Structure formats: structure tokens, C-alpha cells
Amino acid sequence: MQSINGSSRRSLLRACVGGACFSLPGKSRVAIARNPAAPPDASHLAALVDRAVAAACNRDAPLEAWKSIAHPGETVGLKVNCLSGKGGSTSIALVEAVCERLQQAGIPPRNIVIWDRLTSDLEEAGHRTGARKDRIRCLGNDEAGYESELAVFGSVGSLLSNTLTRTCDAVINLPVLKDHGIVGVTMALKNLFGAIHNPNKYHLNGGDPYVADVYMLPPIRQKVRLTICDALAPQYEGGPSYMPQWVWPYRGVLASRDPVALDATGWRIIERKRAELGLKPLGEMKREPLYIARAADARHRIGANDPASIEILEV
């Protein structure tokens, strides 16, 4: 994989509100990078990630963007989504591209950890699990364990993953763009259900307000710095289980420092695909993802869901 070159400019964009970074006053950036004509191999995917991350972070060069996300001496966790096996999980090539770029930004392999709820899910998605000296670690919460005291916000009370609370200084969220049969869609916000011990409790009422409340738990809100959503082969129906008959080759990635803006944008992409194929919108199916608006309300303020407050950049 080719290296990326960045300028020596060191100024960092620090105007953040609770983890959501705004590139313009009142605007949250969501970058969409696609190459429909190219196969989703490592080299093409690395180029997509470079374009999306640089635009999302409002940087001239990709390496500048990565250096604004993670800093030498920090341990960076990559929160993948491996619930649906190889077909419906975060692409291994995407994870590898992110690991490569982090190392170029000064994060040594031993300070990168790939994690999700279950070790078996990681293995079924194609990851090599284990903690190897001076190499990238990969492990599930069932192996790393959970905190002994509940973290509480609003309607939720959960034990948080030790990987999140004790190992990681920063987290890059790597969800998949897909439909969800209960909460409507699952992307940036919902992917952090993989950080708690009891996610099955919080699917009632379409995940509202639970998805937003889980994201408000301090270690999540404080440590997640960037979301890169795998939209190589999104799923518009039948999720979260992998259903290849409802997958289409979008061949893209979405990146943002605002998880709410990313989810609002991804939801619209899924709705457009459903409309194109004559499927009812999620609201008519009684599974509109209301938790996205909840995450933007006055109590949560995680990010922006109003299209007027989101700057979408196709790069």
C-alpha cells in the first residue's frame, strides 16, 4: 500500500462540541468517497479512505487529517462491526487501510487494537484474533472483560468494555451502512452497542432513546474521534443479518467527525435505494430511526441531523 504525503502544517482543527466537529459555523461535514467502476481491493479502498478522511477533517492532505485524529503515544481502538460474518461485516481491507494510515501518522502497531463484542464474531468476519507483542491486537469484549460498575445515562445502565475504558485513548468507529429490522438503520451511533454488556435490552421502541443514551456514556462520547462507515456493499433490507439479495454495490465510504450527521446521511442513502426499488420508506414500515433526531436534541447534542446543518462533500 502506498504511503501518503502530507504538508508540514501543524495547526489542528479543535472546534469540537462533545465529540462532534464542525467544519463551518453550524455545519457538520460528511464526506462520501466512491469509485463505482473500481473493484473494492486494498489499493482502491485506501484511496477512498484518504479522500474521505481528508475532506471530513477539512485538511489538504490525508496525513494531516490522520495526525489530527490520533497522536503518538496514544492507543487507538478500531470499533468494527462483525456481527454478520464476512458478507455483512466491516471490510477487512478497510480495517487494514486504516491501520496502515495510523502507522504512517506515528501510531505503532502495538498501539492499535481492533475490537468488537465477541471474539468469535471477529474470527468469523476474517480477523486474526489475539494479543501479539509489538503487533496490532484484535480481541472481543468477552476476552477483555467489562467494568464492574454500571455507567448510566438517561434510560441506560451498562457495563462498558475494558478495551474502551482502560486500553483505548481514542476510538475510530468503523460501522457498516445497512438496514436494521428493529431500529431502522445501523451505522455510527448503533455500532457503539458493541461497547456494552447488555445491548439486547435497548432495542425497544426502535432503539429510541436508547441508542442516543448509550452514545452519551462518557467514555464513548469522549473517545470516539472519527467514523468511517463501510458503504462498499450496503444492505437496504433484511438487516442486520447478512442478506445478499438486498445488498448493492455502492462501492464507497462515508467519513465524519459527527456521528449523527453521518447516520442522517446514510439513512437517506438507504431510503433512496429503497424508493428506487419500489420499497416502502422505513417510516411506513414503522421502523423510522427516530434515535437519530434524539441524538441531536437539546439533551444529547451529539451532532446534527437537520440537512440544513450538514455539509455533504462528494470527493
Q: What is the pLDDT of residues 151-172, one digit of tens each?
A: 999 999 999 999 999 999 999 9
- Residues 45, 94 contacting (CB under 8 angstroms): yes
**What b/e sequence results for 52-62 when a residue is b if at least 16 CB atoms lie within 10 Å of its CB, and e otherwise?**
bbbbbbbbeeb
| 12 within a domain of the structure (yes/no) | no
Count of structural domains, the chain: 1
| 3 within a domain of the structure (yes/no) | no
| 218 within a domain of the structure (yes/no) | yes
- Backbone φ/ψ region at 154: left (φ over 0), alpha (ψ -120 to 50), beta: left
| 197 within a domain of the structure (yes/no) | yes
| 74 within a domain of the structure (yes/no) | yes
Look up the pTM and report it.
0.91
CA distances from 67 to 32, 35, 290 (A): 20, 25, 34
| 14 within a domain of the structure (yes/no) | no
Q: What is the pLDDT of residues 231-241, one digit of tens each?
A: 999 999 999 99
Q: What is the pLDDT of residue 29?
A: 97
Question: If we measure between CA atoms, which residue out of 180, 160, 155 comes closest to residue 171?
Answer: 160
| 201 within a domain of the structure (yes/no) | yes
- Residues 67, 13 contacting (CB under 8 angstroms): no
Q: Where are the alpha helices (DSSP H) in the chain?
A: 42-56, 62-69, 85-88, 92-104, 119-124, 141-144, 162, 188-191, 210-215, 218-223, 259-276, 291-295
The amino acid sitting at 162 is: N
Q: CA 225, CA 80: separation in Å to the nearest integer?
A: 14
Q: CA 69, CA 49: separation in Å to the nearest integer?
A: 14
Q: CA 256, CA 56: separation in Å to the nearest integer?
A: 5
C-alpha grid cell for residue 242?
447478512
Q: What is the CATH number of the domain that holds 154?
A: 3.40.50.11440
Q: Which domain, by its residues, includes 88?
A: 19-314
Residues forming beta bridges with residue 158, ordered by sequence position: 151
Low-confidence ranges of the chain (pLDDT < 70): 1-26, 38-40
Find out whether the peptide bond into 40 is cis, omega within 30 degrees of 0.
no
| 39 within a domain of the structure (yes/no) | yes
- Residues 277, 193 contacting (CB under 8 angstroms): no
